[in-house]
Amino acid sequence: MNNNGIYKLEKTFSEFFAGIGLMRMGLEKAGWKILFANDIDPMKQRIYESHFQDEPSHFVLGDIHNLSANDIPTVSLATASFPCTDLSLAGRREGLAGSQSSALWGFIEILEELSDRKPPIVLLENVEGFLTSNGGKDFEETLMRLNSLGYAIDAFVIDASRFVPQSRVRLFVVGFQFPSFITVVNEQAAFYQSALRPKKLADFIFNHPDIVWHLKDLPFLPKRRFNLSEIVDVTDDDSKEWWSEERVNYLINQTSEKHRKVIEKFTNDPQYHYLTAFRRVRKGRSMAEIRSDGIAGCLRTPKGGSARQILLRVGKGTIKIRFVSPRECARLMGADNFKITGTFNESLFGFGDAVCVPVVEWIANNYLTPLLNELNDSIELKKHESIQSVYSVI
């Protein structure tokens, strides 16, 4: 309440599919306060609990489908970084009918059950493949379900490489209860296209005028200020983390001729350079694909050996190779000071399944907080109009 007795929305949020809490970290950097968190994975809860000392006060472990509205406090924002396995190229592209990504419907059902206590703002995050999953039907159905709950929709795409040296493209959806501001889609598709709304998304917006949209103008994304070489751990030459010569040669032999020439070029340089690699199957053969632009590939969950990102230090006539470390993963996610706990693979899984902290902070500062202020202005205006209406009747 403010001094006039008008209810004011506070910067509070619930975090669904919380993982190890990087969505929380980004929002808290922008001044938002967490009141509730939920995830199904006890391993992620342990990592979350180790970093955030207040975890027992608000973290509920369990399947989202088993939550009740009574478990969830009233907040201004609900976030959902739901599982991407069934939406990504790495998965089977089963879409929202898949066993993991279908958890999104549990989130929608929670919003329905909350009824008048629904948060006025929701934020969804997932891989860009969400846009095209099931021929676009999954994305369309999700947005229509949000519309049916009174949410107008905005969507945009951000690559984390604008903030950190990691290529991580993610689709964000904002839904908010602000029916007086609705975009009528009647322009050419290119009208909606921008750095934040690339052609695929602009085409989707244009081709779905039945969805209730509100597309907000956003500022330009920042330019990244540092490269991969500035976040890697200093590793002694005799460290056991470096692979054996035999293993190094095996990986080099898995690269294409083009990539071997890149490695050779940097090896002969008088300075060290840092490259990354993933193993992929190409035409039935395991290949090592090298990235040499100062940006790491997208961190992934280490469900198999091919998902663990490899770091190459080349230069001064030497080639050293090891896996990217958990601390380096934290830095690549903008969570530099995160407390690393658990096994090597558990840490990689936690970070590979999370959101990039500075991306969330940017969204909060440039979209969510201004939107909350607009909603508060609208509430105050409606209260004022209601008072004026009463006086006019008298």
Residues 6+ apart with CB under 8 A from 198: 157
Tell me what the pLDDT averaged over the chain comes to.
88
Looking at the fold, whether 241 and 212 belong to one and the same domain comes out as no
Among 309, 324, 339, the domain-final residue is 324
CATH number at residue 184: 3.40.50.150
Looking at the fold, whether 206 and 142 belong to one and the same domain comes out as yes
Looking at the fold, whether 24 and 135 belong to one and the same domain comes out as yes
- Segments forming the whole domain that contains residue 153: 12-224+352-385
Looking at the fold, whether 144 and 275 belong to one and the same domain comes out as no
pLDDT, residue 192, reads 75
Tell whether 69 is covered by a domain. yes
Tell whether 365 is covered by a domain. yes
| Number of domains present in the structure of the chain | 2
Looking at the fold, whether 42 and 146 belong to one and the same domain comes out as yes
Looking at the fold, whether 180 and 250 belong to one and the same domain comes out as no
Looking at the fold, whether 63 and 190 belong to one and the same domain comes out as yes
Among 306, 324, 342, the domain-final residue is 324
Q: What are phi and psi of 119, to 5 degrees?
A: -65, 140
pLDDT, residue 93, reads 47
Q: Mark residue 357 as left, alpha or beta (left: phi above 0; alpha: psi -120 to 50; beta: remaining).
A: alpha
Tens of pLDDT, residue by residue over 239-273, are 999 999 999 999 999 999 999 999 999 999 999 99
What averages of pLDDT result for each successive group of 10 residues across the chain (394 residues)?
60 97 98 97 95 88 94 96 62 48 85 96 95 91 95 97 97 84 56 88 93 92 95 95 97 95 95 94 86 95 75 97 97 97 91 96 98 86 48 41
Looking at the fold, whether 366 and 238 belong to one and the same domain comes out as no
Tell whether 255 is covered by a domain. yes
Tell whether 163 is covered by a domain. yes
Tell whether 347 is covered by a domain. no
Looking at the fold, whether 121 and 36 belong to one and the same domain comes out as yes
Looking at the fold, whether 257 and 212 belong to one and the same domain comes out as no
Order the strands of the 121-127 sheet from edge to edge. Answer: 59-61, 33-39, 12-16, 77-80, 121-127, 169-176, 152-159
Chain center to CA of 198: 17
Number of Cβ within 10 Å of residue 369's Cβ equals 17
Between CA 311 and CA 309 the distance in angstroms is: 7
pLDDT, residue 185, reads 57
Tell whether 2 is covered by a domain. no
Between CA 15 and CA 17 the distance in angstroms is: 7
Tens of pLDDT, residue by residue over 123-160, are 999 999 999 988 999 999 999 999 999 999 999 999 99
Tell whether 200 is covered by a domain. yes
Looking at the fold, whether 172 and 144 belong to one and the same domain comes out as yes
Looking at the fold, whether 81 and 194 belong to one and the same domain comes out as yes
Tell whether 331 is covered by a domain. no
